[in-house]
Structure 1
Amino acid sequence: MSTMIIDGTNKATDAADKDPLLVGLGQRVKLLRARRGIPRRVLAEAADVSERHLANLESGIGNVSVLVLQQVAQALDCALAELLGDETTNSPEWLMIRKLLQGRGQADLQTAHRALADIFLDMPHAGQRNEHIAFIGLRGAGKSTLGQMVAARLNRPFVELRAEITRLAGCGPMEIQALYGSNAYHRYERQALEETLQNHKSCVIATAGGLVSDAGTLDLLLRHCLTVWLQAEPEDHMNRVIAQGATPHKLGRREAIDDLRLILESRAAFYAKADFSYNTSGKTLEEAFAGLMSAISAHQPLLFT
């Protein structure tokens, strides 16, 4: 078995020597970090471990202590069991539910989720959901630009959720993360969405790309909004983000694209919970808007009656 002591001095050089448990653990940490959009340096600082130590953990060569793993889990705002790959072992009921769902296909799982939601959640009818249209997806997909255009066409208010978060917190999302951590940011994000739904009988909402990393907030959005996943090719995402004034990745464009692909991979299954998706790549703004309006009309023709 490959091991690493706390200072990270022993490393495995052959992938075949890596322990499968450590490899799986490292992959889950890496994907959870990517899903939340947290750079490795930031996570290492939040977990109070060295960046080198965290890099070894993500590479599958870090045989870390339970206490260090707990620090990483807390920094990722998840249960330690989630890092270990099994969060459904803490009660007989969980075990029996897991047994019922084990091996089921995606369609069966969706049916089970809808049944549980009907039991435990206040589910608005389809007409109510159509009153709120929400766009999700990575930064640079066109959520804000196209969202404003859709809102104007439908004569509805447009809500930029990041602006609502800033209003509630008194500082921007980056400052919230830096001062109070990701948990506080997710609380503000949930509050901003709740107030938006309460204060606007109908509106168009542009969400932040990382909203899907909080399951509760995503579920609230899906229950109360007609949700559209705006997609784009990674290169288009990058070009648009740079055009917005973002600083390119310090290690180069190729590394930035690779990071973006990893973030998308970690979030894709959550974005796919949207009612439908629309790809904005290869289109002018006017073409993207026309195509998006046609897609919305095809999905919910009652919006245009």
Structure 2
Amino acid sequence: MKQTAVLQPIEGGDQGADIEKERESRDPFLVGMGERVRLLRARRGLTRKALAKEADVSERYLANLESGVGNASVLFLRQLTKALNCTLAEIVGDETTLTPDWLRIRELLNGRDHDTLKRARIALEEMLATAPQDPHRLERIALIGLRGAGKSTLGRMLADELKVPFVEINRVIAQLAGCPPSEIHALYGATAYRRYEHRALEAVIQEHPRAVIASPGGLVSEATTLNALLTHCFTVWLQATPEDHMRRVVAQGDLRPMSGNKESMDDLKRILAGRSELYGRADMTFDTSGKSLAECYLSLRDRLAARLASE
């Protein structure tokens, strides 16, 4: 059964003043929780309407929660954790405040720049690794980023020159499921799709010691899948401006994530902002905006060759 919103519309009086007063009186805990839910939703590329449908909750109730004005029940939050495939702790608080060791680690990392954090993360992964490093990691080139960044076009060109297979994870998902990814979403939901995504990546890694791989834009939103990609592939984040992403997607006749949404550009920008930190974990970044296809490919090829030679 869908939850109903706790707060009722304000009737009569000075509505503008009442809204401003309401904003000032918001509980900081509820505001923070709403911000975390918005971030988790953006990382998974879900609109508010899509998340409400996935979690089987009222869209208005979800809007109140994200605005920091809804007193959500525990059952409602549990429904969200299933739809977002996250823990309750990620929504309601920060588990890294639970012990002195966690707090000390936070202090050491607080305020560090992106490169320092990346080196720290790599050092921890090496120290805590339980499996040997994949000897083929540098021979699998995985391209990540939003749709419209050039993963398929540049990936095929790169694979042809390297004389290795070009693999699109979406096609492998369709083979495993027996239907297109869009049908998986429609019939079983986003959580089921993410499971197929992980299975597809595992199958590609097992079958191809050498390949160029184009990954779906939302693959990075699942920590287990992203970690597998980073462990077994040399990853390249293909960046582009939101405008270029939109223009290229429209040129392909594909508006699936923004279909029927009048604020498609705002949605795209939110998704990109929500995933930027995750895409930033790639071994290398390459901006595809403002370049011709030939210029873009040659520059990517040369930069990639130089990086791989230095590894």
TM-score after normalising by structure 2: 0.87
RMSD: 2.1
Identity of aligned residues (%): 49
Which residue matches 1:165? 173
2:136 match: secondary structure:
helix
Give the C-alpha shift of residue 243 in structure 1. Answer: 1.0
Which residue matches 1:143? 151
C-alpha distance 274-81 of structure 1, shift in aligned 2 (>3 A): same
Name stretches of at least 5 consecutive residues in structure 2 with no aligned partner: 11-17
Give the alignment partner of residue 49 of structure 1, picking from 57, 70, 78.
57
Amino acid at match of 1:102: R
- In the aligned structure 2, how far is the partner of 1:142 from the partner of 1:268? 17
Which residue matches 1:111? 120
Which residue matches 2:104? 100
Give the C-alpha shift of residue 116 in structure 1. Answer: 4.1
Give the C-alpha shift of residue 215 in structure 1. Answer: 0.5
Which residue matches 1:200? 208
- In the aligned structure 2, how far is the partner of 1:124 from the partner of 1:177? 34
Give the C-alpha shift of residue 275 in structure 1. Answer: 0.6
- In the aligned structure 1, how far is the partner of 2:232 from the partner of 2:89? 30
2:238 match: secondary structure:
strand
C-alpha distance 192-67 of structure 1, shift in aligned 2 (>3 A): same
C-alpha distance 113-97 of structure 1, shift in aligned 2 (>3 A): farther
Which residue matches 2:67? 59
Give the C-alpha shift of residue 144 in structure 1. Answer: 0.8
- In the aligned structure 1, how far is the partner of 2:171 from the partner of 2:121? 35
Give the C-alpha shift of residue 114 in structure 1. Answer: 3.1
Which residue matches 1:9? 8
Is the 2:155–2:166 Cα contact (8 Å) retained in structure 1? Answer: yes
1:73-97 CA deviation, whole Å, 9 max, x = no partner?
Answer: 22111111110122347xxxx7354
- In the aligned structure 2, how far is the partner of 1:112 from the partner of 1:246? 36
Give the C-alpha shift of residue 60 in structure 1. Answer: 1.4
Give the C-alpha shift of residue 120 in structure 1. Answer: 3.4
Is the 2:148–2:246 Cα contact (8 Å) retained in structure 1? Answer: yes
1:102-148 CA deviation, whole Å, 9 max, x = no partner?
Answer: 122342574255334443342426x6211100000011100111001
Is the 1:34–1:263 Cα contact (8 Å) retained in structure 2? Answer: yes
Give the alignment partner of residue 129 of structure 1, picking from 133, 137, 142.
137
- In the aligned structure 2, how far is the partner of 1:293 from the partner of 1:112? 27
C-alpha distance 108-160 of structure 1, shift in aligned 2 (>3 A): closer
Is the 2:136–2:209 Cα contact (8 Å) retained in structure 1? Answer: no
Amino acid at match of 1:9: Q
- In the aligned structure 1, how far is the partner of 2:305 from the partner of 2:199? 30
1:141 match: secondary structure:
coil
Which residue matches 1:77? 85
- In the aligned structure 2, how far is the partner of 1:263 from the partner of 1:7? 28
- In the aligned structure 2, how far is the partner of 1:101 from the partner of 1:185? 34
Deviates more, 1:113-122 or 1:134-143: 113-122
Amino acid at match of 1:119: L
Give the C-alpha shift of residue 99 in structure 1. Answer: 2.4
Give the alignment partner of residue 185 of structure 1, picking from 189, 193, 196.
193
Is the 2:167–2:213 Cα contact (8 Å) retained in structure 1? Answer: yes
Which residue matches 2:291? 283
- In the aligned structure 2, how far is the partner of 1:39 from the partner of 1:47? 12
Which residue matches 2:260? 250
Amino acid at match of 2:8: T
- In the aligned structure 1, how far is the partner of 2:119 from the partner of 2:99? 19
Alignment of 1:18-33 (within 5 A): 18-33=26-41
Name stretches of at least 5 consecutive residues in structure 1 with no aligned partner: none
2:270 match: secondary structure:
helix
